[in-house]
Amino acid sequence: MNLFQYFTSEFSAVGVDSPEAEAKLVIESLYQNDAFKDVEKIDLKKFYEVLERRRKREPIQYILGKAFFFNSEFIVSPAVLIPRPETEIMVEKLIEILPENGVMADIGCGSGCIGISVALERPDVEVYSFEISSEALKIARLNAEKLHASNIHFIESDLFASCPANIRFDAVGANLPYVPLSDYAVCQQEVRDYEPQLALTADDDGLEIILRCAGELAGFMKRGGKVFFEIDPSQDTRLQTYLDGTGWKNAEIIKDYTDRSRFVSAEF
Ligand SMILES: C[S@@+](CC[C@H](N)C(=O)[O-])C[C@H]1O[C@@H](n2cnc3c(N)ncnc32)[C@H](O)[C@@H]1O
């Protein structure tokens, strides 16, 4: 039996959702990508350590210390949310709409995945990434350094409380906590036991921080600038109606890869 077959069957046996994908990740990260090597000829100590942690539902990205997002590999630790594939849709939209030499905010930057991905694709743009957690910011700064993103600034801040007064944004990406507390109680063990709750939940059916953000942001937008909020599907029309009623224009619901409402955008 080769490494890929063996790791896949062992991950399957402990109930991992995507055993093939995780086997591939472990082989790439810890076994020099040698998927076809005979399992009998390999020291499996490192694999069994990973398997033991997966058995306890620790996410593979925290075990390996990295996660792939957009075109890059990001360092992750339990201080930051593991970047999710659907958030890449927001990155694509930001890259597309930012004007030449524009200014962007990434609010609640976590690992830095949104702001850094835009900064790398659009070196003409200046990105400001805000984050309330100093531990998360350390990871975001490490990622910017590792990926050589130089057109990005990190600011420790509760939303825009520490934003320099004279900045005005052309575009904003906001993936803030939006999980309603009732959903958090029943979410996957990987998420509940290992990812930081500060990154996930908010009061008011998950909308408390997003609504506060929309209010504060109005003071920092350029006329015609655009914001994208990542949301829980249950929040789509409530947020759309709120934005339309509070000085924002053309609030629009955007779907994710599974055709569920995942973002609300609006113009200032
Ligand atoms: C859902 S995570 C998103 C992380 C990252 N942007 C991503 O897409 O993977 C939300 C992030 O917002 C941060 N956060 C929570 N409340 C905040 C606040 N009041 N001001 C700034 N950041 C906040 C959390 O610490 C967390 O890193």
Residue 111 CA: which ligand 1 atom is closest? 5
Cα end-to-end span (Å), the chain: 59
- pLDDT for 134 equals 98
- pLDDT for 44 equals 96
- pLDDT for 68 equals 97
Q: What are phi and psi of 131, to 5 degrees?
A: -160, 135
Alpha carbon distance 143, 116 (integer Å): 8
Helix locations, the chain, DSSP H: 3-13, 19-30, 45-55, 60-64, 87-97, 113-121, 134-146, 181-184, 189-194, 208-217, 236-244
CB neighbours (10 Å) of residue 27?
A: 21
Ligand 1 pocket test, candidate residues 198, 200, 210, most atoms within 8 A of CB: 198
**pLDDT per position as a tens digit, 34-56:** 999 999 999 999 999 999 999 99
CA of 107 to the centre of ligand 1 (A): 7
Low-confidence ranges of the chain (pLDDT < 50): none
- pLDDT for 85 equals 96
Assess whether the C-beta atom of 173 lies below 6 angstroms from ligand 1.
no
Assess whether the C-beta atom of 206 lies below 6 angstroms from ligand 1.
no
Assess whether the C-beta atom of 110 lies below 6 angstroms from ligand 1.
yes
- pLDDT for 207 equals 98
Q: Which of 166, 163, 99, 92 is nearest to 130 (CA)?
A: 163
Assess whether the C-beta atom of 130 lies below 6 angstroms from ligand 1.
yes
Residue 106 CA: which ligand 1 atom is closest? 6
Token pair for 12: 């399957």
- pLDDT for 266 equals 98
